[in-house]
Amino acid sequence: MSRIAIVIGVNKPRAPAPLQGAVNDAKAFAAWIAKQGFEVKAFTDEKEPVTFAGIFTEVERIVTAATYSQIVIYFAGHGLQNGGSEVWLLSGAPNNASEAISVEASVMAARESGLTSVVFISDACRSIPSGMQSSRVDGGSIFPNLPLRRPTRPEIDRLFATLPSLVAVEAANANDKARRGGIFTREFMKGYYEPPSAFVDKVPENGNLIEVVTNRKLRDLVRDLIEDAASDEMPKAGQTPEFILESVQAYVGRVERAPKGLIVEPDLDLPGLESMSRLDKGLFELRRHRGSRPRQPLERKPERQRTPTPSVAALARQAIEVATQGQGARAAAAVAREKGDGVGISDAIVRYSGQAPVDHLETQTGFAVNGARVVMANSPHFPAELLGNQLVRLQPVRIDAASASVLIEFDDGKGTVLPGLRGYIGHIFVDDGVVTNVNYVPSANSTRWNEYQTVREDVEALRAAVAAAAGLGVFRIAPQEAQSFADKVRKLKVFDPTLGLYAAYAYASAGLEADVESVLQYMRADLKAELFDVAMLARRGVGPREAGPDPAKDLPILPFCPMLRQGWSLLAVRDAQLPQAAREARNWLLPALWTTFAPHGVQLLRNAMERGEFQ
């Protein structure tokens, strides 16, 4: 079986400002990976625009051919993190919102590709969109949306140049400040050159044993190289890569060594290398020294004295682990705060574990809002009453009435859509006009309250830690951790459905379909409803509904659009169907973890609700 690489370099999307080094990086990477035995198909905007259709067509050809075992998708250019989903901008973006690649949607579709290994490599920023134009760009899947499950399920690795919400540094060549290149690409390729023996594995290839560095071992090797290089180039920015790995033995590159009696000479004809230093060129081309000058061995830069600093993702995992051990929210926040990079997680845990303005309503159902004033609430089936400017009391017609969708509008005209769940008070946290977190707490006069009191501290700590990690885009569950996490939260997630919601997204991202289905089943049994996001992740072709044809058998699927912003980028790959008004309101989504609409989007939904369009 063959290996193939799709290499993409985009210097000039329609916005933001052009890059100088993305095409150079793509050309250098294409030349390097071709030497690793890959067939290469390159897309750069050096001469003509890079289009989504061109890339999709090539990936579809690869999948249809069924002759490849591994595909590497490399991208250098502008990137965004839109509601927790990675988006790569192609030449026509953001003016054309369809000219972008959603990494998360592509990952989900790639699971049906029949390949053995899929590797996404991104030398791009993961910035949060700053305006409506960029926030509308969700991107699409470059893998075909196949109707049937393939017998082979690929291991999917994602290698990002930097952490969520941060930038990826470009470095200037000392001899030519006008030519730049991504630090990640340069140091990534350098990681295969004369690596320490602890990072080297021998694997069979074409009847021979070859030396490789697996993606799993490369993670630790490259991190130091990138942090040092970024510190030299832009000390205040810093840069720490993030590798999300499912594989154990998958690799991209072979170990490169300088044979005895040879010196390193650059091959100046190799595309993209003219902007790289002598040391970096040595990674690609070794030429025999024909003169009498003695060989000068290449040496790595001396290692700095350092104390290993855990990544934000590692700190989030530590905080969640502390929360699951019953040590409380304060202890979870404290373990994250021990390192500088964990201050954001720590502060979020403290905020999200704070007391809500109300713990019960007579109707047992409603919302409490922190950080904004509520001016209106509408539901297709529940009369909604405002109590002051922070509370929404929903009035089910019957005590056993089904749950329903609720549109909540804030005083700045923005708003959100959430399910009003029977017996729960939803606590909405708003920062800078967007919804950053939602908790559901059993109402103090509901049947769940007494049991909730016995585990309240554990639930509050865990959901605050998980929400903080999700807000930073680092809540993930690796396949080997799935059972352990499920065991820890099984008793607790009944008391806050958002724990199940976050878990379903993490399970789906890791390809753990049985675990997503498990979350859906417990929700059906306990809530007598399905959360739309979880239903969409569990099966294809789902559409929301306020009530089923047979209320005794067909549970509502709520709300009438995704609860989390990242769910919008997965609608197409999951064949999900939304009402027309929700599809139109999508153009007015704001950058946030939880779905938040700009005022015009809220108005569209309010008008549709008044016309009775959500049933």
Q: DSSP states of 346-381 as a string?
A: HHHHHHHTSPPS-S--TTS-EEEEESS-EEEEE-SS
Instruction: State the pLDDT at residue 545.
Output: 93
CA pair distance 340, 54, nearest whole angstrom: 43
Let me know if residue 28 belongs to a domain.
Answer: yes
Query: Which two three-digit tokens encode residue 39?
Result: 């067939």
Domain range for 29: 2-167+236-251
Q: Decide if 470 is inside a domain.
A: no
Tell me the whole-structure pTM to 2 decimals. 0.86
pLDDT at 293: 38
Note the pLDDT of residue 308. Answer: 54
Q: End-to-end distance of the chain based on CA atoms, in angstroms?
A: 51
Q: Which long-range contacts (CB under 8 A, 24 or more apart) does 445-454 make?
A: 445/360, 445/361, 445/362, 445/364, 446/360, 446/364, 447/423, 448/423, 448/494, 448/495, 449/360, 451/495, 452/495
d(CA 161, CA 600): 36
The CATH number of the domain where 96 resides is what?
Answer: 3.40.50.1460
Look at the chain and report how many structural domains it folds into. 1
Q: Is 305 helix (H, G, I), strand (E, B) or coil?
A: coil
Which amino acid appears at position 40 of this protein?
V
Measured distance CA(35)–CA(472) in Å, rounded:
37
How many Cβ atoms sit within 10 Å of the Cβ of residue 609? 19
Is the bond preceding residue 559 a cis peptide, omega within 30 degrees? yes
pLDDT reported for residue 178: 47
Q: pLDDT per residue over 190-200, tens digit each?
A: 999 999 999 99
Residue 25 within any structural domain of the chain? yes
Give the pLDDT score at 551: 65
In a domain? residue 18: yes
- Answer yes or no: is 80 within a domain: yes
Distance separating alpha carbons of residues 441 and 498, to the nearest angstrom:
10
CA distances from 387 to 369, 399, 425 (A): 11, 20, 14
Q: Which residues in the chain show pLDDT less than 50?
A: 173-179, 264-300, 304-305
Residue 157 lies in a domain: yes
Q: What is the rounded distance in angstroms from the CA atom of residue 189 to the CA atom of residue 254?
A: 10
Per the domain annotation, does 583 fall within a domain?
no
Helix (H, G, I), strand (E, B) or coil at 471: helix
- Regarding beta strands 424-431 and 366-370, do their DSSP bridges make them parallel or antiparallel, or are they unpaired? parallel
Task: Quote the pLDDT of residue 281.
Answer: 43
Encode pLDDT of 367-384 as tens digits: 999 999 999 999 988 889
Asked if the structure places residue 57 within a domain, the reply is yes
